Each structure stands twice: as structure tokens, then as C-alpha cells.
Chain A
Amino acid sequence: MNKKKLVIWDLDNTIWNGVLSEDKNVTLVDGIKDTIIELDNRGILQSIVSKNNYDNAMEKLKEFGIDNYFLYSAINWNAKSQNIKSIVKSINIAMNTVTFVDDQIFERDEVKFNLPDIQCIDAADIKDILNMDEMNPLYITDDSKIRRKLYQNDIIRNNQHEKFEGTEEEFLELLNMKMTIQKAQEIDLKRAEELTVRTHQLNSTGYTYSYDELKSFIDDAKCSLMIVDLKDKYGYYGKIGLVLIEKQNDIWRLKLLLTSCRVMNRGIGTAILGLLINKSIDEGVSLEAEFVPNDVNRIMAITYSMMGFKVYKKDREKQVLRYINNSKINLPEYLSIEFL
């Protein structure tokens, strides 16, 4: 069973007792606030889909002191499956990592019919949620604890982006992004493992590594495990990239390159690759990269192709690509890069 990244709550007779439009004096369901806070601590995002008046519902949530825990809430009279589709698209995760909680079977049925991969839970079973295996991530990292805030920063950024009247490049320049690439330390390993398990689209090989395997790379002189983090004027993005290089003779082999989907479209993967290409040229070594194509990581194949990598060897599903040009890459000017 998949670990869940998002829980979507109904309001009436789910988060609170009663129906808000019939009686303003609804009360929170026993223990629900603790459940919401605990899920938040575990790095699970939360949202609301409810058939209610938006302003009245938000006001009531503010009164209960929990409005801030929910992202992209859709409180309107549209079909719940449509709202859910929209929310999941905004967050950019797979539907099978989403759970929907509602007291009404016809709502759960409507959602399940239109979105068969989603998990639906009856509000009557809320007290079991925290114990469910799907709601217990393998690790809780520093990034998990601030995950909601990171997404909230993204929402502000995206709003600014929408209002912005200029080119994409001009917007990226205004963000004042600073990327840091450095050798992973032991404290980074939980987050590194989380990245290998959670990241799919922007993951060149899909290999997952355990904490212990990653630790062995840190201790191995022939390996370089690097963690990438990013911040901009709206705040921190978290540790959003992982690079594993194996160095043998005159060849650097990129065994793993992954970046969090949250930084898609910032040119981060391309910047990391560009930096590695330039370093390999400085050191006089060849740069290779492993690539395992799957259903969702084609964008990585395209990125490698665009950067000047060609397929050099194939071994069943695994491809080895090689950077074939002799020239350095011009790194994007809008990104300040610190390579430690």
C-alpha cells in the first residue's frame, strides 16, 4: 500500500459535527485537531473539499485555529472529484498517494468512480487514520516537518508568477535563486533516502537506496554523494536534489540524479548537470550517466539529450549515456550556484 502524501478532508460531519449551513455552532470532532497536527508533522499535506460557502467555512476554520493546515482548499458546489483532480494537479503528485475522507457514501462513491486510484475513508474511521501504514512515512525528516510551509511558499511564488508580465527568464531572475551543492553529511541521509523513495519523474534511474547504502557512499572515497538545496526571495525550498557519482580512472559515472518535482521548471536539473559537465572538463575526465527509462521519467532522457549526452551502452533496461562534446556549458545567469 502506497504511503500517502495528501489527505483531503470534507467538513460537515467529518472535521466538525453538524452542517455549517444549517447551524453556525458546529464543534470540532473529538481528537481531529490532534490528528491534523500529527499528519502535518509527518509531512503529509492536507486539503479540504467541501460543499459549503467558502467564506463561512474558512472563517469557521480560522475560529478553530486550523485554517493554516490546508492547501488549495476547494469549498464550492462543484463535483468533489473535479475539485480533487484540480488540487492534485496543483500539488503535482500521483493520485494513488491521495486519501479522501468524507462521511457520505455517495460522495466517496462519486470520487472513487471518477478517480479509481484514490483511497476513500469513511469519516467514521477517522480515529484509525494515524495508525494506518499508509499514513506512517518511513522517515520523518526536517524537510517533512516544514513540507506544508514549503508548499505555501510555492503558492505565493506561483501567484507572483501568474501576475508577472514579462518573460520566463525575467521572472526567474527576479526570484534571486541560490542553489548549494555539497557533499552529503550523515544528517542529510534521511532526507536523501526520502528523495530516492519519493521522487519519480525527475529521477534518472529510479534506484532507491537505503540509509545504510547511502552512508556507505559517504565513506567510499571513490564515490561522491551530493545534496542540493535551494532558496529564493520567497523562502527555502528544502533539500531538493541528490547526485551520486562513482569515480573510476578517468571516468565519472553519474549513478543517480534526481530533483524534487517542486522545483520543476526552474532549470535546476539542467544547472546541476551543467555544473558537473564543467567540472569534468576541468578535471580532464569523461562524464557518463546511467539512465533507466520508465513510465514517468522521460523528461530526464530529454534533459540528457538536450545537454549533449548520447547513449553509449545498453544493458537490458539500463542505458549508459556519455557527454560527447568538449565544450563547457553556460550556466544560467538567474541562478547563483555554490559548490562546496
Chain B
Amino acid sequence: MNETKNKVENFIRRYVNIEKLGEDDDIFKSNIVNSLFVMQLVLFIEQEFDISVDNEVIATNDFNSITTISKYIAEKVDK
């Protein structure tokens, strides 16, 4: 799970310029990310973990922070 979190965090940090991004911070609040970036994030996750991400879960409480995104990935990978 930590490895998943690290991969997700590293991807986000490569594109997004924020010093203090907490793992529970909602990345969709306050214009940190735009839809183009989110598209790239989703494609990265799908390729890296070989899962498919439901469009509808994006930006909900189940997919809005490093923690929740990693949890979503872990659950999908287990299936």
C-alpha cells in the first residue's frame, strides 16, 4: 500500500507545484488540478496498476486524495 501511495504521490508531484501536499488533502479543491492533469493521472494509474478507473468515482470522497486514490487502486487490484 505504501508503494502505491508513493507512486501516486510522485506522479502528482511531477506535475503539480505545491510544497505541502498532505496525503489526505483533497486535490480537487481550489484549482490545484485541471481536467487535463486528472486525465493524465487516471491514464497513469490504469497503465501502472493494470486496472480501470470508473469515471464516476473521480473527485468523490473515494478518489480525491493520495490516501483515497491509493485505497481505490488497492481494492481494484485485489479483484
Interface, chain A (partner B; CB < 8 A): 167-169, 264-265, 267, 269-270, 293, 298-299, 301-303, 305-306, 308, 310-311, 332
Contacts and interface: CB of A to CB of B under 8 A. Distances in A.
B42 A310 contact: no
How would you classify the secondary structure of chain A's contact residues: helix, strand, loop or mixed? helix
B55 A301 contact: yes
Contact of B35 (A168, A270, A332): A270
Contact of A302 (B17, B31, B58): B58
B36 interface: yes
A2 to B, nearest CB: 25
A302 B39 contact: yes
Nearest to A293: B55
B46 to A, nearest CB: 11
Interface in B42-63: 42, 55-60
B38 interface: yes
Given A167-B17, A302-B58, A332 B39 contact: no
A265 B35 CA distance: 8
Per CB-CB distance, the 10 closest pairs between chain A and chain B, nearest first, are A301-B55, A303-B35, A305-B58, A306-B59, A299-B39, A265-B36, A167-B17, A302-B38, A302-B35, A305-B59
B60 to A, nearest CB: 8
A267 B42 contact: no
A305 B34 CA distance: 12
B31 A332 contact: yes
Contacts of B39: 298-299, 302
Given A302-B42, A306-B28, A267 B55 contact: no
B55 A298 contact: yes
B17 A269 contact: no
Contacts of A302: 35, 38-39, 42, 55, 58
Interface string B5-30: 00000000000010000000000100
A325 B42 CA distance: 24
6 contacts: A264-B36, A270-B35, A299-B39, A302-B38, A302-B39, A306-B35
Of listed A264, A303, A305, residue having the most chain B CB within 10 A:
A305
B42 A265 contact: no
Given A167-B17, A298-B55, A311-B56, A306 B31 contact: no
Contacts of B36: 264-265, 299
A264 B39 CA distance: 12
Contacts of A306: 28, 35, 38, 58-59
A270 B28 CA distance: 13
B17 A299 contact: no
Nearest to A303: B35
B56 A310 contact: yes
Given A302-B35, A310-B56, 14 more contacts: A167-B17, A264-B36, A265-B36, A269-B35, A293-B55, A299-B35, A299-B36, A299-B39, A302-B39, A302-B42, A303-B35, A305-B60, A306-B28, A306-B59
Nearest to B39: A299
Contacts of B17: 167-168
A303 B58 CA distance: 9
A303 B38 CA distance: 9
Nearest to B57: A305
Given A167-B17, A168-B17, A264-B36, A305 B31 contact: no
Nearest to A332: B31
Nearest to B60: A305
